[in-house]
Chains A and B, each alone.
Chain A
Amino acid sequence: MSKLPLFPVTVVGSWPRPRWLLEALRLKREGKISQEEFDSIADEAVLLAVKYQEDAGVEILSDGEQRRDNFYSFVADKIRGIELKTVAEIVDLVPDKSRFETVLRSLDVPAFSIRNPVVTSRLEVGARGIARDEASFLKNHTRALIKIPLPGPYLLTRSSWVPGISDKHYRSREELGYEYAKILRDEIIALRDLGVFFVQLDEPVLSEVVYGPDQSQQTFMCAALFSRRNPREELEFAVELINETVKGVSGIKVGIHVCRGNWSRREDALLKGDYVPLMPYLAETKVEQLVLEFATPRAGDVEALRDYIGDKELGFGVVNPRTDEVEKPSEIVARVEKILRFMDPGKIYLNPDCGFGTFAEAPVNTPKTAFNKLRSMRIAAEELRRIYGER
C-alpha cells in the first residue's frame, strides 16, 4: 500500500454501460443467452470501462459494475436462495402499500419494472462468488489497484427480507443479516486472496433511514418495501452487521459508501440531508474508510465529519456524477483544502460522489463526461501532491 501517492484517485463503482451491453443484459434476463455468452460480451464492456479509467488517471479502479444490472440486485445471480421478484409480484405482501404507490409515482415507473432481490430459501454462494469472477477478470487486465464494490449487509438484509416469503427460511431479519455478514466476510477474504486492494460495502439506504417517512417519495426503491422502523435501532443494527462482516478481516482495505442515491439527474427526486445524524454511527463501524459524497449542497457540509472521522480515511466525493458540467481541478483542490483543516492529507482519497450508472438502464452520465470528470480529479490530485508533497 506504500506505493500509493497522497490523494489517490478512485471511483465509487459503476460506469455507463454501452447499448450493446444493455441488450445483452436484457437477453440474459430473459434467458435467451447463456451466462458464458453474456460474459464474453460483458468482458469487452469491462475492458472499455477500464481503459477509460486508466486513461483518466484513476489509481484504484473498478470494472464499472458492467456485469451487474445495478449495485445490489445482481446478487440474485450469485447467491442461491435469492430471486429477483418484481414489485408487482410482492406488493400484496407489503404492509404499507400506499407509501409504495407514492414511490412508484415519484419514479414514474410501473411496479412490474422494478425488480428486487428477495430471499426465497436458505442462502448459498455459487461458484463465481459474489464478485470473485469480476475480480479475476479485472486482475488479468489491469495493473492498477482494484476496488470491488459489494452491497453491504444492511442493504441486502433490508432489501431482500420480505415477510411472508423470507421468514419461511430464516427465523428473523436479524438471523438473515448475520448470514449476509458471514457470506460477505468470506467474499472479502476471497477477494483479498485474489489480489483486490479495496472492497467497498455500499450502504446507501442508511441515509434513507434517517431522512424519514415524510420524504418517502424520494426514497430508495429497495428500502421502501416495508415500513420504516425506529431509525436509531436500524442504524445500530446496520453498524452491528457491518462490524460482524469485517470481523477478523485483514490485509485488504474495507470501506463503506453512504450516499443519498444518485440514480436521477433531477436534484429534487433525490434525498437530501447532511451526515450529522449518521456520523455517530459511521464512527462506530470498524472499517478503514468512509466513502462519502460532498460535491452537492444536498449532502451538507464537511464539518459534519470533524468530530467523528477519527483515524478513518475519507473517500471524498469531489465531483457530481450527474451533471454535464465538469468540475475544474481548482474547484476540487479548494474542496479538499477545506477538509484539510481537520484531516491529515494521508487519509484522503478522491472519488466522485457515486457511480456514473447506478442502474444499468439509467446511467446519469456519458462515458465522455465521466472520463473528463475523473481526469479533472487526477489533475487536482497532482496539484495537491505538488502542494502537500508525496506520501
Chain B
Amino acid sequence: MGEMINGIDVEKLRELLKQAGENREFVSKINKWSARVRWLGSGFNFRSYVRNHSFLISEPSELGGPDSSPNAVEYVISALGACYATGFILNATKRGVRVRNLEIALEGEIDNILVFLGLSSEGHPGYKRIYAKAYVDAEADERTIKEIWEETVRTSPVGNTLTRSVEVIPEVKVVR
C-alpha cells in the first residue's frame, strides 16, 4: 500500500487519474450513470435502484407521505452536498492536504411549491437557490482550503448539472 492521505491510497489515485486521461473506454464508463425508481404500490413510497444499491424515497407527513425517508428534492441537495464533499476530498488528497473533518450544510429554496401542488401557475416548482456551506478542518492554511473549495465547486458534476440546467428528455411508455 502506498502513502495514504484522507484514507485514500495516493498512488492508486494517481493511477486512476492516469487511466482516466488515457483510456477512452474507461472514460465512457464513468461518463454515464443510471438509476431506476419504482413506486412501491401504495402512497408516496418509492425505491431507487442504482448498480447494486437501493434506497427509499418518500414524502414527509405534512405532504401526505409516510416520512420513512428523504424526499426527492432533499436527495437533490444531498447529492449536491455529497458531490462537493467527494470533490473536496479528491482535490485535497491530490494536493496532499490531510482533512480532519468536513461537513457541508445545504439549504434549498423552492421558487413556488404551489405549482407542484397544482395550486398556482406563477413561477416554477424547482429550486431557485441552494445554499451550500462547507465546514472544513484540514491541515492547510485558509488560502489553500479556499482554493480547494473553489476547485471543488468549479468541477462538481452535480453542481454543474444544477447550475447549467441539464437537458432532460422525458418519455412515457404505457405498459398493460
Binding site for B on A (CB under 8 A): 88, 104-105, 109-113
Contacts and interface: CB of A to CB of B under 8 A. Distances in A.
5 contacts: A110-B103, A110-B105, A112-B137, A113-B101, A113-B137
A110 B132 CA distance: 13
Sorted nearest first, the 5 A-B pairs with minimum C-beta distance are: A110-B135, A110-B103, A112-B101, A112-B103, A111-B103
A112 B135 contact: yes
Given A112-B135, A112-B137, A113-B135, A88 B103 contact: yes
A111 B135 CA distance: 9
Given A110-B135, A113-B137, 8 more contacts: A105-B107, A109-B135, A110-B103, A111-B103, A112-B103, A112-B135, A112-B137, A113-B135
Interface in B95-110: 101, 103, 105, 107
Contacts of B105: 104-105, 110
Interface string B100-126: 010101010000000000000000000
Contacts, number: 18
A142 to B, nearest CB: 38
Interface in B49-80: none
B100 to A, nearest CB: 8
Give the one of B101, B107, B137 with max A CB within 10 A: B101
A112 B138 CA distance: 12
Contacts of B137: 112-113
Main SS class of interface, B:
strand
A88 to B, nearest CB: 7
Nearest to A86: B101
Contacts of A109: 135
A391 B135 CA distance: 55
B55 to A, nearest CB: 17
Nearest to B107: A105
B79 to A, nearest CB: 18
A134 B133 CA distance: 40
B142 to A, nearest CB: 16
A117 to B, nearest CB: 19
Interface string B30-58: 00000000000000000000000000000
Contacts of A110: 101, 103, 105, 135
B131 to A, nearest CB: 10
Contacts of A105: 105, 107
A104 B107 CA distance: 13
A34 to B, nearest CB: 22
A48 B100 CA distance: 33
A104 B135 CA distance: 12
A110 B138 CA distance: 14
Contacts of A88: 101, 103
B6 to A, nearest CB: 15
Interface in B133-169: 135, 137
B97 to A, nearest CB: 17
A105 to B, nearest CB: 7
A102 to B, nearest CB: 11
A111 B137 CA distance: 12
Contacts of B135: 109-110, 112-113
Contacts of A112: 101, 103, 135, 137
Nearest to A111: B103
Contacts of A113: 101, 135, 137
A183 to B, nearest CB: 32
Nearest to B136: A110
B58 to A, nearest CB: 15
Contacts of B101: 88, 110, 112-113
Find the residue from A104, A109, A112 having the highest chain B CB count within 10 A. A112
A113 B101 CA distance: 9
A113 B135 CA distance: 9
A204 B143 CA distance: 39
